[in-house]
A and B are shown apart, each in its own frame.
Chain A
């Protein structure tokens, strides 16, 4: 990924998020260029998940702007942001456990293909065709993430590694331009982590911009083009992996962790 000329998919300008007296994000500025894999790291409580929640519209920032493809989106509700083309996964898996693997991915298509309440009640031929398209599209995604053989299983019954993959698959089904992955490797064993990493690369190879929060440094150093380091809601470093690895401020923030 050569730096410089590419368009920014996501731009954050002066983003502040306070909860009561606690400043979770303070005056955060950064960009995500189209087509890159950008990782956000930082010690626990650094504001990584808060940042994701602000970007994806779980709550509006206290101050500042979030621009997606040049348009401000910080005032939009989560479902509107999803419609614009940002999809996400959750730190603790948030699957629809009462539904099958296939249905989970089919719901992911909701941003693209939907039927009204009335149209679905009267089963207009149009809604039937839509349902068929949704199913085909979902099956393709299940093939891509390697869960096609489990399409009938209930999402609850999958082991954690596959649940994480399914969550990514569900997010992919909306055909996002930017996908936000919140700790895709958390709780996974080495093999599963490897599978998840290759999947993230494959997603990126499709031209989807990836923003991820991750604690597993091996994953982060391996797959990201750029890393943003947060501490106490502030940006303390930003740049390619090799620069971050040697940054004294980052080493200081992580002191005692001994991983970097």
Chain B
């Protein structure tokens, strides 16, 4: 049985809760909660991707686009039309779901390289739209003045407040995703990964499931995009480029695709690397990512999530 232990989830949730309180007292890591906000936002995307890629076995190199759609819908509707940010967030998710169905229905009939190319192309198209539809998106300069989030008069106006908001979403999405993985639905997804003909022969509607997971992962990315826009109060197209889609893949490859924890660990590490620990490398940062990806694919095909298993293997010998 695929069982994901409850204890580590509880410990993790507790650690997330006390982290800002601790970081506040240590000057060297005082600004870490800010980085953690971004890590949390990216975790929302990579969790969905992990379900899509690691469990259901479908590739997407276009998730930066869904992240961008969420961010831009929030940005445009709040700044130009003065709409309620929470409503915009929901509208963003709904629009993304529709786009994901339209893109996913034909693309998910493709396999392997072809699916990768289709989602890649989609990502590039959306990136071009963000750049060129200047009237709507502000073009390469982006959009500023996006309002912050408020709930019943409570303003999420400090890093810490926003940290708890984002990680609240992350933990909720994490639990939902873990439940799906452990259910008959998760079993069906893993079956599709292993053998589509056999899954079909056992009554699994393969195309429907592929689209469903694709949409779920896209909607999470859209939610992440909205949270991103309201946190930074600014968006520009560069955030949602092809490289970001690849970075998302590096995150789940490093953490381990076949394990939902992998998404969390990989995302956390890469976010800290790119926001903090890799400044020293400046523009050579990309080379470090390349090296990480190479190292992981060759030596740790199951990512960091596979390390405990390898260590256990040593002791058994």
Contact = CB atoms under 8 A, between A and B. Distances in A.
Given A99-B191, A99-B194, A110 B180 contact: no
Contact of B212 (A77, A78, A111, A117): A117
Interface in B148-200: 176-177, 179-180, 183-188, 190-191, 193-195, 197-200
Most buried by B among A83, A94, A111, A115: A94
Nearest to A111: B203
Contacts of A107: 184, 187-188, 191, 199, 202, 204
B200 A78 contact: yes
A97 interface: yes
A115 B183 contact: yes
A102 B184 contact: no
A242 to B, nearest CB: 33
Interface residues on B, range: 20 to 34
Given A103-B2, A117-B216, A98 B190 contact: yes
A95 B201 contact: no
B206 interface: yes
Interface string A127-153: 100110010000000000000000000
B262 to A, nearest CB: 15
A181 interface: no
A122 interface: yes
27 contacts: A78-B200, A78-B201, A79-B204, A79-B205, A82-B200, A82-B201, A87-B201, A94-B195, A96-B191, A96-B195, A99-B2, A100-B1, A103-B2, A103-B187, A106-B184, A107-B204, A110-B188, A111-B203, A115-B183, A115-B184, A120-B180, A120-B183, A120-B186, A121-B180, A123-B179, A127-B183, A174-B202
A116 to B, nearest CB: 8
Contacts of A56: 201
Interface of B: 1-2, 176-177, 179-180, 183-188, 190-191, 193-195, 197-206, 212, 216, 258
A75 interface: no
A39 B4 CA distance: 44
Given A94-B195, A96-B191, A170 B202 contact: yes
Given A58-B200, A95-B194, A96-B190, 13 more contacts: A79-B203, A96-B191, A96-B199, A98-B258, A99-B191, A108-B202, A110-B187, A110-B203, A117-B185, A120-B179, A120-B184, A121-B183, A170-B198
A116 B204 CA distance: 12
